[in-house]
A and B are shown apart, each in its own frame.
Chain A
């Protein structure tokens, strides 16, 4: 069991390294926050305070940035990340069917994380691979020309077990 002092030291250390990577200047604020988010899978309040302190910025500015951009989350994200592209090209090719299907399948709406902290699920407005629509990324792996059938297989793989779609629906219902 690690002590609280240890964790504070770790946080301090991590944030210092990240802030220094961008020269400690406000120009690197968004990128620094992205790195913090990558490390902790969200932006902890303590981290925001430390970033503000080290960059000599008002905490209000750091908080404003952390809440303005889509890339950031103030609540913890899941270990795995499902992202459905809902760009125009994907929308025209019926991405909404996939969005509804995943929502039904894993029981959470876009922007939420499963209660066990395993899967986060969100939609994005374009991933720039429009020829493959509808497009889904799972942990940064691309899955193109998505159909509900293919999605079921992808989700099964993610769960690491083979359950049929029907069973999952009953579980979540």
Chain B
């Protein structure tokens, strides 16, 4: 059953047998399409779906039918627009108006005012949180303005379930170019020349992999697309698979042609049901059109793709473990060499690349290696998609040219930390990456770096915010590019807790095959837990460093080899926080439960909001009077901290909750008077 694409472009699928037939079809589709008509694009990526965009789409359908506009205005459900923080997102073309946080009840207003009247609905427009300026058009929003959306761009304008949409946007032209105008060696050379490095994390030159696989002698070869995006905090692969699956199919077919393979697998995470659905559907329609299967477009080249669902194991992102998993085994890695390019799936040469790499391939073949290598830095070419998340104003997917600084990403695109909190660090590369500090002007960070031997006493540390983002620079700074997760942390994040979090994750996800990883993770996690519980000793820091070094030197795969990064990088930049936990039994950020108690300060308005979530009834106080937390009852769950709208709940050193006692004795007076008294 074919899904409708909402517009008038639906054509019954015909098997295309030549590039000319594809061009004819495209021309026919272009003619059918009236470019002046109004198109309403509702973002239907997972982020917006979770915000309830399907109800918005339904409301639009109803409102358009009611106004008898359903045949005039096209309603399109697209892939992820990237600006997830503001979902559900609605864009109205050709005006390019951008509406955010749209609810079903706003739909009628949009139809009446914007669609019929050509006027803007002010309350739904984006308002810059810093300048307070209202920005009606998509391309003017700072979040999008500084980006270079080469891979993600099409996500916003096409329906992933409409191959016809993709045809109109010059889809499958790069495949035609490779199959008909280039020899396989030329394709490999093009990828080599482009300087593309694998986007999965390690940054291995993609062209070299291709050349090795092409040279391997075997009757059968395989292609694998690694879509096992297990890194917590990264979702660009998901967004591409959901929003533009055809670009990945196209890249894979080109890869198959280049190395001489006829079968491809896409290994997708089980936690991504929509990606599986859209990709499977896209493969189906591509097959119907003759863009996959036997004799693709009459070129004499056969290629097909199968989707393989993963079982939810982080280690399967490692290529040899992933191959074992597709074969129906447990996902444990094996030593390399031989590399998969020589002996991979079923022992045969296999070319394995990440989703983003495959999408980039399609781009390189279409526009040429020269164009691609003109973007980026000397050692890292092209653009990179980052998932900008955590404590940041503009959360979402950000595609930027390599070499942009972290400052530009975090402040210009991301808009800084919310609620005026102080920016502390940014974490890149997921559990294998490190935590990077940013402003190095802090004396404590300076001391940490001196203690670590990174700089001398009199030297000034370079602010890592001004670091150009590329594979090598990030590695030098003690982190890595990884798959592109970029998690921003504000003053409320405890670095010991973060290291503990990553080790908890890695210890759960380690396959346990090799001893350094299996045992090393447990030892480090135990030490980190001890420190977070206030039972650490100074010598524990040496243990952390020693065990980390053993893991780096002796682990079988990169899960173990890069696992110590979170602890080593936090020790490098935030040693003072570890020492505060060990020596003063204090958690400076107020996160580690064993060291923290909650207290209410004088900014409390007595609104009672904190009463309800408190599971132990520890909070007392009359309406409009200062509330008090009974420390004997409080279990430090943090529920009150989360709900307080006035930031009146403070997390203070355990046993040092003097705020509570002191303020409770004071006679309560209205907030205005109190601030006046202070002033």
Distance from A63 Cβ to chain B, minimum over Cβ atoms (Å) = 10
Q: Beta-carbon contacts of A115-138 to B below 8 Å, as 1s and 0s?
A: 000000000111111111101000
Question: Are B396 and A101 touching (Cβ within 8 A)?
Answer: no
Q: How far is the CA of A70 from the CA of B50 in the complex (A)?
A: 23
Residues of chain A contacted by B326 (CB below 8 angstroms): 27
Residues of chain B contacted by A104 (CB below 8 angstroms): 615, 637
Number of interface residues of B (CB under 8 A): 66
Residues of chain B contacted by A64 (CB below 8 angstroms): 329-330
Name the CB-closest residue of B to A72. Answer: B311
Name the one of A100, A130, A140, A166 contacting B395, with C-beta atoms under 8 angstroms: A130
Question: Are B485 and A131 touching (Cβ within 8 A)?
Answer: no
B293 an interface residue at 8 Å Cβ cutoff? Answer: no
A71 an interface residue at 8 Å Cβ cutoff? Answer: yes
Question: Are A91 and B501 touching (Cβ within 8 A)?
Answer: yes
Q: How far is the CA of A29 from the CA of B648 in the complex (A)?
A: 54
A108 an interface residue at 8 Å Cβ cutoff? Answer: no
A154 an interface residue at 8 Å Cβ cutoff? Answer: no
A93 an interface residue at 8 Å Cβ cutoff? Answer: yes
Q: Beta-carbon contacts of B304-331 to A below 8 Å, as 1s and 0s?
A: 0000111111100000000001111111
Distance from A12 Cβ to chain B, minimum over Cβ atoms (Å) = 21
B138 an interface residue at 8 Å Cβ cutoff? Answer: no
Question: Are B487 and A88 touching (Cβ within 8 A)?
Answer: yes
A89 an interface residue at 8 Å Cβ cutoff? Answer: yes
Q: How far is the CA of A124 from the CA of B508 in the complex (A)?
A: 11
Residues of chain B contacted by A148 (CB below 8 angstroms): 613, 639, 642-643
Residues of chain B contacted by A125 (CB below 8 angstroms): 230, 232, 314, 505, 508-509
B106 an interface residue at 8 Å Cβ cutoff? Answer: no
Name the CB-closest residue of A to B229. Answer: A128
Residues of chain A contacted by B642 (CB below 8 angstroms): 94, 97, 147-148
In the complex, chain A residues 131-173 whose Cβ is within 8 Å of any chain B Cβ: 131-133, 135, 140, 142-144, 147-149, 152, 164-166, 169
Question: Are A26 and B327 touching (Cβ within 8 A)?
Answer: yes
Name the one of A27, A55, A92, A101 contacting B391, with C-beta atoms under 8 angstroms: A92
A65 an interface residue at 8 Å Cβ cutoff? Answer: yes
Name the one of B272, B330, B485 contacting A88, with C-beta atoms under 8 angstroms: B485
A114 an interface residue at 8 Å Cβ cutoff? Answer: no
B389 an interface residue at 8 Å Cβ cutoff? Answer: yes
B594 an interface residue at 8 Å Cβ cutoff? Answer: no
Interface centre among A64, A104, A132, A164 (most CB of B within 10 A): A132
Q: How far is the CA of A129 from the CA of B612 in the complex (A)?
A: 28
Q: Beta-carbon contacts of B268-279 to A below 8 Å, as 1s and 0s?
A: 011111000000
B231 an interface residue at 8 Å Cβ cutoff? Answer: yes
Question: Are B271 and A97 touching (Cβ within 8 A)?
Answer: no
Residues of chain B contacted by A34 (CB below 8 angstroms): 270, 309, 311
Distance from B430 Cβ to chain A, minimum over Cβ atoms (Å) = 7
B238 an interface residue at 8 Å Cβ cutoff? Answer: yes
Count of A-B residue pairs with CB < 8 Å: 179
Name the one of A61, A70, A133, A166 contacting B312, with C-beta atoms under 8 angstroms: A70
Q: Beta-carbon contacts of A78-112 to B below 8 Å, as 1s and 0s?
A: 00000000111111111011001100100000000
Residues of chain A contacted by B501 (CB below 8 angstroms): 88, 91
Residues of chain B contacted by A127 (CB below 8 angstroms): 46, 271
A9 an interface residue at 8 Å Cβ cutoff? Answer: no
Residues of chain A contacted by B47 (CB below 8 angstroms): 129, 131-132
B536 an interface residue at 8 Å Cβ cutoff? Answer: no
Question: Are A133 and B639 touching (Cβ within 8 A)?
Answer: no
Residues of chain B contacted by A149 (CB below 8 angstroms): 612-613, 643
Distance from A35 Cβ to chain B, minimum over Cβ atoms (Å) = 10
Question: Are B327 and A70 touching (Cβ within 8 A)?
Answer: no
Name the one of B327, B329, B390, B505 contacting A93, with C-beta atoms under 8 angstroms: B390
Distance from A92 Cβ to chain B, minimum over Cβ atoms (Å) = 4
Supposing A97-B639, A124-B271, A129-B47 touch, asked if A152 and B232 sit within 8 A by C-beta, the answer is no
Residues of chain A contacted by B329 (CB below 8 angstroms): 26, 61, 64-65
Supposing A101-B639, A169-B615 touch, asked if A71 and B84 sit within 8 A by C-beta, the answer is no
Question: Are B328 and A144 touching (Cβ within 8 A)?
Answer: no
Interface centre among A27, A100, A128 (most CB of B within 10 A): A128
A45 an interface residue at 8 Å Cβ cutoff? Answer: no
Q: How far is the CA of A153 from the CA of B478 in the complex (A)?
A: 43
B16 an interface residue at 8 Å Cβ cutoff? Answer: no
Question: Are A131 and B330 touching (Cβ within 8 A)?
Answer: no
Q: How far is the CA of A132 from the CA of B523 in the complex (A)?
A: 33
B516 an interface residue at 8 Å Cβ cutoff? Answer: no
Interface centre among A68, A94, A152 (most CB of B within 10 A): A68
Question: Are B232 and A89 touching (Cβ within 8 A)?
Answer: yes
Question: Are B235 and A130 touching (Cβ within 8 A)?
Answer: yes
Question: Are A30 and B229 touching (Cβ within 8 A)?
Answer: no
In the complex, chain B residues 637-677 whose Cβ is within 8 Å of any chain A Cβ: 637-639, 641-643
Q: How far is the CA of A48 from the CA of B488 in the complex (A)?
A: 44
Question: Are A92 and B493 touching (Cβ within 8 A)?
Answer: yes
Question: Are A28 and B493 touching (Cβ within 8 A)?
Answer: no
Question: Are B639 and A131 touching (Cβ within 8 A)?
Answer: no
Question: Are B330 and A68 touching (Cβ within 8 A)?
Answer: yes
Question: Are A88 and B331 touching (Cβ within 8 A)?
Answer: no
Name the CB-closest residue of B to A128. Answer: B235
Q: How far is the CA of A92 from the CA of B501 in the complex (A)?
A: 10
Name the CB-closest residue of B to A71. Answer: B312
Question: Are A88 and B328 touching (Cβ within 8 A)?
Answer: no
Question: Are B615 and A88 touching (Cβ within 8 A)?
Answer: no
B489 an interface residue at 8 Å Cβ cutoff? Answer: yes
Distance from B224 Cβ to chain A, minimum over Cβ atoms (Å) = 12
Question: Are A129 and B46 touching (Cβ within 8 A)?
Answer: yes
Supposing A125-B232, A128-B272 touch, asked if A101 and B637 sit within 8 A by C-beta, the answer is yes
Question: Are B313 and A92 touching (Cβ within 8 A)?
Answer: no
Question: Are B613 and A129 touching (Cβ within 8 A)?
Answer: no
Give 11 new A-B contacts, CB below 8 A, not counting A88-B233, A88-B430, A97-B637.
Answer: A29-B328, A68-B331, A69-B331, A91-B498, A92-B390, A93-B390, A125-B232, A130-B233, A130-B389, A143-B50, A166-B615
A-B contacts, 10 listed (Cβ < 8 Å)? A30-B325, A68-B311, A88-B389, A88-B430, A92-B391, A130-B84, A132-B51, A132-B84, A144-B51, A148-B643
List of 5 A-B pairs having minimum Cβ-Cβ separation, nearest first: A69-B311, A131-B84, A142-B50, A87-B232, A26-B328
